[in-house]
Amino acid sequence: MTPDDKIRHFLRLWLLVLVLHIGQCVKVKVAVYEHVVISHPKANESLTREEAFEFMKKNLNIIETRAVEASKQGAKIVIFPEYGIAGFDHTRNSISPFLEDIPDGSLSWNPCEEPDRFKDTQVLKVLSCRAKTSSIYIIANMGDIKPCSKVTDPSCPRDGRYQFNTNVVFDDKGRLIARYHKRNMYDETPLFDPAPKTEFVFFDTDFGRFGTVVCFDLLHENPTQTLIEQNGIRNLLVTSAWNVFYPFILPVQMYAGISKRNNITIAVSNARNSEYTMAGSGIFGNGVDASTSMDYKNSEGQLLVGEIDTFDTRATTVKPEDPSLQGIGGIAPNDFAQYVNSSIIGRHYLFGMNLSFVMLTGEKGRVYTCYEKVCCAVQYDFNVKVGEELFVLSATDFNMHKPGEIHMQFCAIHRCATNEPASCGDPVNSTSSTFSYVKIQGFFDPGVVFPFVSTSSVANYHTMELDKYKFSRSKAIIESDAFDKPMLAIVVFNSVPAESGKSNSDASNKAKHSLPSKSLHWICIAFVFLFSCDTFAWRLSLCIKQMFRYICYITTHFALSYTYI
């Protein structure tokens, strides 16, 4: 081998290692389908297993059709909503025949090819066969039933069975590759049990690693933030049945805010239901800001397809860059009381939540308000201020136990329903006023802070303006001089964890203690360096180098494609 040949060979090896070592960024299309969920007219009555499955076919037929459509549009993954198969309005007993004993995703089972391996798994078979025939990954939500005994399990429910709200993931060959049990329940405890242990579920594909959770999990540190920050998840797939809560916690506001806070891509399929005011699915991330209509009265489902950047996330920790935003006036929390404007306190929002709020008067200014331990500050400059539109800065600190368990704190700029202060907090979905500059800061207990931002509704569509503002999660600040659309709400939202920093998931431990491919990359680099030396053994090492080159590639590829659940 000539010196030039050796150099070329050396460069090829280094190029291979470089490609394997750096994070891969892949463009891929994902789809979410906002399904108008069909519920059984006698959902609270006892049905046989055969009757339950016959009814579920109504939802499954639609799911199958939309999976085919998503695949034809080039999507590699399609997500369907929470309760999208079994429907709503069940009791704990009446939903039982709608559930299946779902095996763990590590069992390498393809229900389409082995339908009789497990008993009464007809729904899993339908999903598996559709994923296989359409060559698309399917994420769907259904119920998992697990028999138990008080003798061996003191936590076993009285009726001798666990019932879990569950996400299932099928790959494009129809294999069941992941199963996730919802941990944080929202008005569901009569039907489902929370997962006994928090699960951190993610899976690998040829085009990236993806994690999955269910609806109300999103606002909690566990599993969502731990999944992102400790397991390196940059692509999150979510099933949801989230209500439309104007103006503070719109579904699409929440999804986009989680994307912005964590610098991740998130794709969420929300149920559409007029009775429970559910609507709003979306795909948000780097370069993508797509959402469905918020018109929950519309009886048509909507398929949304978007192209996202996926990332090779071998690092165990992902912490997004936090802009160095300066606080408003350098006010220390202990000194805040002297700045607080005359505020109005009243019962003005959902679930008996009290708000403290102060009006934004004039074209520009600063105002401050506090509610118990939470204090809020805003600096604002209106570009267009419509006279009859009343805007306020509101604060709340609310420990909610029903319908779901969460301690929430937030500061919000929002329009009141009328120009009367008594309407502040009532639902409103449109405005005409715009800001040329706005900065809002919250002073909270330690927690998980999100930015919830959305524009005024145009034909029941909102945009999240992800690239129009800066957000500091450490200082709880949202700042922008780039908003050019009427703003419906700008919210700094804080979820205070019940427990912080604790994890009892076997799955997360498995992922952490597995040999990361990053280590393999460095091993590859070391071997390439050693074998690049021009020694007397050069010719003898050619075969060894070539063999190692393929071993390195195959081993690294294996690490990238291994599925943790």
Q: ω into residue 223 within 30 of 0, thus cis?
A: yes
443 φ, ψ (degrees, to nearest 5): -120, 105
Q: Is 416 a catalytic residue?
A: no
Cβ(35)–Cβ(81) below 8 Å: yes
**Of 29, 182, 260, 475, which residue is the catalytic one?**
182
Tokens of 235: 């692509």
Q: How many CB atoms lie within 10 A of CB 423?
A: 15
Q: Give the DSSP H/E element, type plus range, for residue 540.
A: helix 538-561
Helix axes 538-561, 3-21, angle to 10 degrees: 10
Distance CA 477, CA 496 (A): 17
Pick the closest to residue 377 from 444, 322, 323 (CA basis): 444
Helix, strand or coil, per DSSP, at residue 398: strand
What are the C-alpha distances in Å from 109 to residues 115, 142, 461?
9, 18, 41
Q: Is 82 a catalytic residue?
A: yes
The letter for the amino acid at 492 is V
The letter for the amino acid at 104 is D
**Of 34, 64, 82, 479, which residue is the catalytic one?**
82
Cβ(84)–Cβ(126) below 8 Å: no
Q: What are the residue ranges of helices labelled H in 25-95?
A: 49-72
Q: How many CB atoms lie within 10 A of CB 350?
A: 14
What are the C-alpha distances in Å from 262 to residues 112, 226, 319, 408?
37, 11, 7, 19
Q: Is 215 a catalytic residue?
A: yes
What are the C-alpha distances in Å from 150 to residues 144, 162, 292, 314, 411?
19, 11, 45, 41, 46
The letter for the amino acid at 356 is S
Distance CA 361, CA 54 (A): 59
Distance CA 343, CA 152 (A): 56
Residue with tokens 């598996």: 128
Residues 6 or more apart whose CB falls under 8 angstroms from that of 554 comprise none
Q: Compute and round to an integer the Cα radius of gyration of the chain.
A: 26
Helix, strand or coil, per DSSP, at residue 161: strand
Pick the closest to residue 370 from 324, 403, 337 (CA basis): 337
Cβ(126)–Cβ(175) below 8 Å: no
**Of 112, 129, 156, 215, which residue is the catalytic one?**
215
Q: What angle do CA 546, 563, 129 make, to 5 degrees?
A: 115
As beta bridge partners, residue 377 has 368, 441
Distance CA 393, CA 361 (A): 11
Helix, strand or coil, per DSSP, at residue 287: coil
Distance CA 172, CA 345 (A): 54
Q: Which residues are known catalytic residues?
A: 82, 182, 215
